[in-house]
Structure 1
Amino acid sequence: MTEGFDAIGEPVARRVTSGLSKIGTVLRSRAWKGAGSAGVTPTQAQALESLRGRPTSLGALAARLGVSAATASNAVSTLVDKGLVVKESGANKRSVTLRLTEAGESMADRASEWPDFLSGAVETLDSREQVVMLRALVKLIRTLQQNGDIPPQRICVTCRSFRPRVHADPVNPHHCDYLDAAFGDRDLRLDCPEQVDAAPEQQDLAWRRFASA
């Protein structure tokens, strides 16, 4: 019976990829609808989300969004014209820091609500399945980042404060030096504002310990 499925079926990795692609298609469609209802484009909505509580430079914003400097500049210019973003003097005369206005903070909240439909679907998984999925996403994101397919992400496993599997507690085996607290896979973050990249050799060592679980 199993041999029959093996003969006609695609490899599991290809089927998982196909499933992720289908979800990606829906996300792009919903992103346009969600951002449009808020009065911004998806790129502008992503810029607002990225700047929420985290003022940054145009170059850093472009890198975070994975777009060209020109695309980021166009998005920011529109947001400035709409009164959602302001440009402030940076550390030197040539640098500029981007910051959300009060209206921008409100718009960022509105624009970030569109993925709620997917959150509802994820919540149909039991707690263990959600943690397994989160851990798998961390591995995928880290691999894509290592391969240069996506811009650097502020994830736990590349952070200098991340110490995996240093505690005997199977629920909270990891340690965050920044918070000086133990935590488990359910607490892994995909966008941590306090994340600072560790040196490559530290990242490699931490990853081997994390991935070997």
Structure 2
Amino acid sequence: MNLNTKIIAGLSRISEVFKVLLWEQAKNLKLSPIQIQILNFITYHKQELCNVSYLAKEFNVTKPTISDAIRVLVNKELLIKDFSSEDNRSYTLMLSLKGRQIVNQTENFADPIKEQLDKIGEEDLESLYKTLATLIYQLNRSGILDVQRTCFGCTFYKADGGRHYCHFLEKELLDSDIRLDCPEYEEARVG
């Protein structure tokens, strides 16, 4: 096997570990993995992204799948539908107090992975991070990954001879400062 094939196999194994850890959390809380992912997403993202259409795109599932998960979360009083827009059919989602408590219990589900990363040298971690950020951006640009909010695709980002600059933060960025999920992300116009 060549190196690319080995890396793909390794990423697949890590993906499996992530799924197993998420399933364990989900079973303990009587939720599905997608329901936990929705709760965590809503916690850390702008409210305008917290709607059925965007969540379906974010998690690469159908709108009915997201709608079903949301229905359960609303019934369990973990989410609140906010109909404050002008369109009565449209709503965004917010966490309830009970939902915040669940997020507090679930947000550390990947700690076993973090513990192993703590054992890897800083230089190797920085190299891995740079590679992951680039791969995510390239997968998005090739149409394989629908959603990405990395610096590389942001209107505020500027690259100059291997150096990175963020016009929003008004500062130069190190490779390790590149964000994979930036809250200030605004998609750059292509072309």
1: CA distance, partners of 2:93 / 2:82: 6
Residue matched to 1:18 = 9
Give the AA of the match of 1:117: P
1: CA distance, partners of 2:171 / 2:104: 29
**Dislocated runs of 4+, deviation >6 Å:** none
Q: 2:158 aligns with which of 146, 160, 163?
A: 163
Q: Percent identity?
A: 27
Residue matched to 1:184 = 174
Measured after TM superposition, the shift of residue 90 of structure 1 is 4.0
Measured after TM superposition, the shift of residue 142 of structure 1 is 1.4
- C-alpha RMSD of the superposition: 1.6
- What CA deviation, in whole Å up to 9, does each residue of 1:156-204 have, x standing for no partner? 11000111237xxx8xx32211111222111111111110100113xxx
Residue matched to 1:133 = 128
Measured after TM superposition, the shift of residue 128 of structure 1 is 1.1
- What CA deviation, in whole Å up to 9, does each residue of 1:66-98 have, x standing for no partner? 111000001111110111100011422231111
Please say if 1:80 is aligned against 2:74: yes
Q: TM-score, normalised by structure 2?
A: 0.91
Give the AA of the match of 1:187: D
Q: TM-score, normalised by structure 1?
A: 0.82
1: CA distance, partners of 2:182 / 2:29: 25
Structure 1: gaps of 5 or more residues: 1-9, 202-213
Residue matched to 2:183 = 193
Aligned residues: 187
Larger Rg computed on CA atoms: 1
